[in-house]
Homo-oligomer: A and B are copies of this chain.
Amino acid sequence: MSEPKIKNMEEFASVSGISRPTISKYFNDPTSVRATTRERIERALDQFDYQPNMYAINQNRRLTKNIGVIVPYLADPFFAEMARHMEDLVIAAGYRPVLLGSHGDADLEVENLNSLRLMKPAGVLLAPLGRGSDPERIAEFSQDVPTVLFDANLETIGEAFVGSNNQQSINLIVDYLCRTGEPPSFFEMRLPSNPNAFKRRQAYVAAMEALGHEPQLIQVDGDGWEFEAIGFREGSRVLEERSLPTDTVLCSNDRLAIGFLSAAYQKGMRVGLGDGCALRVAGHDDHPFSRYTCPTLTTVSQDYESIATKSAESLFEVIESGSAEKMREETLFDGKLVMRGSA
C-alpha cells in the first residue's frame, strides 16, 4: 500500500511480473489462476494497491456484479432492516448491493428501475409499492433483469416472490385474541397501498367466520405512507365517536397500531389485557418500535430474516442458473405470535 500509484492494469501487470490477461482473469475469479501466481499477484497487490477501474470493467460486460435492492419506503425501519439484511447477503455472495428507496412514489419506483437498468445489474430484489406501482413497467423490467419480489406480491411478475403468510399470521392472532377476550374488529385503511393489507383483511374475515364471529371492519381514510399519523388521527376519531364494535382492535400493521395506541393514551384509555383496561390493541409485523410502545404492542412477527435470506438465495439461483428456469415460485413464511402488553 505504498510506492508509486498504479494507474491501470497494464502497469500493475508489469510491476507484478504477471501478464495483463492473467491479472484480468484473477480479478474475475481468483481461483481461476494457479495458486502460485495467485500468491504472486496478491503479494504485489498489497505492495502496490491497485483496483481495477469499475467503469472499464463493466463497459463490455453484458451484466455486472451489481444487485439492486429497492424498497418502497426507507424511512420505515422495517424496510430499512430488511434492506440491511439483504445488503449483507448480497455482499457475502460476492455481489455489490445498490440500495434504492422509492419514497412511496410510483414514479420514483419506475425511475429507480430505469437507473438500475443502466447499471446492467445481475439482478434485483424488489419490494414494490403495491397499489400505485406501475405493473407494466415493472413487468417489462423484470423481463430484462432477473427480479425477485419480496414483501408485496405482483402476480406473475418476477422470477419469484417471497413474503409473509398473512393467512397464517392473521389466523394466529385472531385466534389468540378470541381466546383471551372479545373478538377483534379490524382497523385498516380503506385503500391500503400495500397488497398485504388486502390479504390480511380477507384472512381476518375468514378467521372470524371460522370461529363463528361476525367480522367487523373499520376502514378509515388516509393515503400515503405515514401510517402512524393515519392510525393516530383515525384512531382518535373512532375513540371519540365511541364507534368501536368491540373492545379489541386488530390493526392491519404495527405502524397503524402505534398511532392508534398513541391516540388511546391521549384519550386516557388504559390499553392492555388486565383488569381496568378499556381496550386491547394488536398489530402485525413486529415493527422495531413495537416493543417500546405504551403498552408494548402485541403483534405477529414477520420472519424478515427468512424473507431476506430466501429472496436473496432465490435471486442468486436464478442468476447463476442463467435465468431461464422453472415456474415462478412463491414462498410464504409463517409469523410468530408476539405477546406483549397491549392485548
Contacts and interface: CB of A to CB of B under 8 A. Distances in A.
Contacts of A295: 265-266
Contact of A99 (B76, B100, B262): B100
Give the bracket for the number of chain A residues in contact with chain B: 35 or more
29 contacts: A53-B59, A54-B55, A54-B118, A54-B119, A55-B55, A55-B58, A55-B59, A56-B59, A74-B74, A74-B80, A74-B83, A74-B84, A75-B77, A75-B81, A75-B84, A77-B77, A80-B80, A80-B101, A98-B98, A99-B99, A99-B100, A232-B292, A261-B292, A261-B294, A262-B291, A262-B292, A266-B294, A266-B296, A293-B294
A99 B84 CA distance: 12
A21 interface: no
A266 B101 CA distance: 36
Interface in A82-105: 83-84, 87, 96, 98-101, 103
Interface of A: 51, 53-59, 74-77, 80-81, 83-84, 87, 96, 98-101, 103, 115, 118-120, 228, 232, 258-259, 261-262, 265-266, 288-289, 291-296, 341
A76 B266 CA distance: 25
Per assembly, the copies of the chain total: 2
A90 to B, nearest CB: 13
Given A54-B119, A289-B289, 12 more contacts: A55-B57, A55-B120, A59-B59, A74-B74, A75-B80, A75-B84, A77-B77, A80-B101, A228-B292, A265-B295, A266-B341, A294-B294
Contacts of A265: 294-295
Instruction: Tell which of A53, A55, A87 has the most Cβ of chain B within 10 Å.
Output: A55
Max chain B Cβ within 10 angstroms of own Cβ: one of A74, A99, A101, A265: A74
A236 to B, nearest CB: 12
A293 B84 contact: no
Contacts of A258: 289, 292
Contacts of A83: 74
A228 B294 CA distance: 13
Contacts of A288: 75
A41 to B, nearest CB: 19
A262 B293 contact: yes
Contacts of A51: 118
Contact of A115 (B59, B96, B103, B293): B96
A103 B84 contact: yes
Contact of A259 (B76, B77, B292): B292
